[in-house]
Chain A
Amino acid sequence: MILAFLLTASLLAQASNATDSAIRQAVKDQVAAIKTAVAKRAYVGPISAKSEASITITNLGNQTRTAVVAGDATIKLMGGKEGTFADLKVGDFVIAMGYVDSQNSLATSRLLVIAKPTPDKRLVLSGRVTDTTAASFTLETAAKETWTVKSKTKDLKVGNRVTIVGTSSTALNLTAKLVVPLTTP
């Protein structure tokens, strides 16, 4: 009888642990879902479409995002002037700030119309050094392009693998701002 009692107690404890674990996991999933559901977000990009109370923004990753703009949203036009939803036009570059719902739709509370940003002029290249001179070196990329890179070459040797950040004014020529040596396979 004692043995049966002990066995029963042990099994009951195991069953209880299994249930607790499942409940804990469910609560954890719910909390994660709620956190995601109320996340603060900012959608950045040009307005690609406009409807009665919402706009579609094509973000910098070329994905479309929906921003609902309620009547109480703060809208700032270029130059800091207060605006209304009616002032927004397709093509305007905007930052829409607010909270997203589970469908990724933004409840916009603040929207700024800003000047279209200029593209980043920095170029990133990586490849292998194929030649060096006092003030430049040549780099062969994985795409088999050969670039001439203006840079100090003191520590560079033919065969080194590097990545470079720089600016390019003419085709296949780059002025390096940063040269980072990479591990050679």
Chain B
Amino acid sequence: MKKEVILAISIGFALGLIITFGIWTANQSLKNLPQPSPKAAVAPSPSPVSPTTSLVISSPDDESLVATDSITLSGTTTPKATLLILSENGEQTATADASGNFSLDIDLITGFNTITVYSYAADGQETSRALTITYSTAKI
């Protein structure tokens, strides 16, 4: 009787180990699956691009159609860069923060608006991007 109990425990333990090994192997295989690579930032077009100074407008997209008379323009550029923004309503200046982020509100006129953003880095490099944003309250 004692032998049978010991045998049963041993078989149970062995089975447990086999199952555990199987799960561990499956888990390792899952970990080794190729992970989705982070998407590269896609700069809106059209725009001239300087190879040395970055300027990415994250919002709004080029050729956007909006129903409000102002937009929040945001993006990233060289840290502490000076920004000059030309819109249909005039000119605005701003400064990127220490991480290069910037955000500012721009008033729109009815119809299409050309917005050009110039970025001037402290090292003398500069770059610009242009967006066309259309403001219309008509039902689309």
Contacts and interface: CB of A to CB of B under 8 A. Distances in A.
Given A4-B20, A165-B91, A40 B132 contact: no
A124 B64 contact: no
Contact of A14 (B9, B27, B46): B27
A54 B84 CA distance: 38
A41 B140 CA distance: 10
Contacts of B136: 42, 95, 97, 110
Q: Which among A11, A95, A99 has the greatest number of chain B C-beta atoms within 10 A?
A: A11
Contacts of B84: 124, 163, 165, 180
A74 B62 CA distance: 23
A133 interface: no
A70 B130 CA distance: 30
Given A4-B17, A95-B111, A124 B86 contact: yes
A25 interface: yes
Contacts, number: 121
B120 interface: yes
Interface residues of A, number: 47
Contacts of A114: 111
Contacts of A124: 84, 86, 116, 118
Given A40-B140, A120-B114, A182 B123 contact: no
Interface stretch (A57-65, A84-92, A147-155): A57-65
Of A4, A39, A95, A165, the most chain B CB neighbours within 10 A belong to: A4
Contacts of B13: 1, 4
Give chain B's interface residue range (CB within 8 Å of chain A): 35 or more
A152 to B, nearest CB: 16
B97 interface: no
A42 B63 contact: yes
Interface of A: 1, 4-5, 7-8, 11-12, 14-15, 18-19, 22, 25, 29, 39-44, 59-63, 65, 74, 95, 97-99, 109-110, 114, 120, 122, 124, 126, 161, 163, 165, 177-178, 180, 182-183, 185
6 contacts: A42-B64, A42-B112, A60-B130, A109-B140, A120-B86, A165-B86
* CB-based closest 9 A-B pairs: A61-B46, A42-B134, A4-B16, A42-B65, A183-B122, A40-B65, A44-B112, A185-B124, A11-B23
